[in-house]
């Protein structure tokens, strides 16, 4: 985008309304979690370990004093380790993901974004599904109450969804709509819904395999309606050294790449469940925007455009 054009859009009332709403999203979600007993921890920006991610993202490292640091793609491992200190934790975690340029067309990918990332010790998937629904309801009510003027600038009418949200098993969705089911279902739905039970080979090694149904994960995605697509991903976690090690190997990676996480697992990390919800995608849906680049003052898009 040209500087002239950007200068104009930064001074427009639209961006002012959107960023005010995003500020309310951050305030209300943080306050909601604190009321639920969560402790906010600082985000990790660089580390020896980060989420390997299932899809192909260009990986970069920085070298310092002979050590190599990865830019955080998600705080999954640090969240599990943080549960040694507190039982419920969250962070507004900046992620760098150098996404493929084709993702420009999805309208929901940035290469720099923020996840509200949380984890709960001893929790089951059903607990974090309820928590996710309550969090979303609280954020929508707060924005409706505190940002009436901004919503009217954007001509957006917000409706509270009805709970519990529908849960659709992956297999059922895939059989009916094929590989693009999440998008298709998103367009068909008027309210947010869950996709549950992804197959093991479709996700990262840290999502817990259901002991009663080998090959099926105890995980979930929340999907926004009206074509806005994926909102969050999460689930129960693998936490036993032996299991994690064999899951890593089955993805073709090596456990050595995940030291010191593997050493923490050896000493013992608790079972847990959690999720990460993208703040910019949540802003896009709440504000009813056509592209994710409209949700933030300094968007960086796949392909590298942005300041």
C-alpha atoms less than 13 angstroms from C-alpha of 12 in its C-beta half-sphere? 13
Least distance from C-beta 114 to Mg ion, angstroms?
A: 15
Told to check if 233 binds Mg ion by CB under 5 A, we report yes
Query: Which residues contact residue 226 at a Cβ distance below 8 angstroms, ignoring those fewer than 6 apart?
Result: 186, 187, 189, 190, 285, 288
Least distance from C-beta 262 to ligand AMP, angstroms?
A: 21
Cβ(235)–Cβ(205) below 8 Å: no
Between 224 and 264, CB nearer to Mg ion: 224
R_g (Cα) of the chain, nearest Å: 19
- As given in the structure block, the two tokens for residue 280 are 């910019």
Q: For the sheet containing 193-196, what is the strand order?
A: 39-40, 88-96, 112-121, 272-278, 229-236, 219-224, 193-196, 166-169
CA 307 from centre of chain: 23
Residue 81 touches which of ligand AMP, Mg ion, none (CB < 5 to 8 A by kind)? Answer: none
Residue 231 touches which of Mg ion, ligand AMP, none (CB < 5 to 8 A by kind)? Answer: ligand AMP
Which residues inside 57-116 make contact with ligand AMP, applying CB under 6 A? 74, 97, 99, 109-110, 113, 115
- As given in the structure block, the two tokens for residue 137 are 């309801």
- Ranked by CB distance to ligand AMP, the top (closest) residue is 278
Applying CB under 6 A, which of residues 150, 209, 280, 293 lies at the interface with ligand AMP? 280
Least distance from C-beta 76 to ligand AMP, angstroms?
A: 8
Residue 113 touches which of Mg ion, ligand AMP, none (CB < 5 to 8 A by kind)? Answer: ligand AMP
Residue 279 touches which of Mg ion, ligand AMP, none (CB < 5 to 8 A by kind)? Answer: none
Instruction: Pick the piece of the chain touching Mg ion (CB under 5 A) from 8-16, 51-59, 126-134, 229-237.
Output: 229-237
């Amino acid at each position: 985008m040209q500087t002239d054009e950007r200068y104009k859009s930064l001074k427009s009332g639209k961006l002012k309304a959107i960023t005010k709403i995003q500020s309310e999203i951050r305030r209300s979600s943080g306050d909601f979690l604190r009321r639920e007993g969560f402790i906010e921890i600082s985000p990790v920006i660089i580390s020896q370990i980060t989420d390997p991610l299932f899809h192909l993202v260009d990986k970069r490292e920085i070298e310092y004093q002979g050590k190599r640091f990865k830019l955080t793609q998600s705080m999954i491992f640090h969240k599990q380790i943080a549960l040694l200190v507190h039982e419920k934790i969250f962070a507004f975690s900046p992620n760098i993901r150098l996404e493929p340029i084709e993702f420009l067309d999805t309208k929901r990918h940035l290469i720099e974004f923020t996840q509200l990332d949380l984890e709960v010790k001893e929790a089951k998937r059903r607990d974090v599904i309820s928590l996710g629904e309550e969090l979303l309801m609280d954020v929508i009510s707060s924005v409706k109450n505190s940002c009436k003027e901004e919503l009217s600038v954007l001509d957006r009418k917000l409706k509270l969804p009805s709970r519990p949200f529908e849960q659709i098993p992956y297999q059922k969705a895939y059989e009916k709509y094929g590989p693009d089911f999440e998008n298709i279902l998103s367009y068909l739905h008027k309210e947010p819904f869950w996709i549950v039970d992804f197959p093991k080979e479709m996700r990262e090694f840290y999502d817990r395999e259901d002991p009663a149904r080998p090959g099926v994960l105890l995980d979930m995605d929340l999907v926004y309606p009206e074509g806005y697509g994926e909102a969050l991903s999460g689930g129960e976690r693998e936490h036993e050294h032996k299991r994690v090690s064999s899951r890593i190997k089955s993805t073709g990676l090596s456990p050595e790449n995940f030291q010191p996480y593997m050493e923490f697992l050896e000493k013992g990390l608790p079972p847990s469940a959690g999720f990460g919800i993208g703040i910019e995608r949540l802003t896009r849906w709440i504000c009813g925007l056509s592209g994710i680049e409209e949700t933030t003052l300094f968007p960086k898009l796949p392909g590298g455009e942005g300041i």
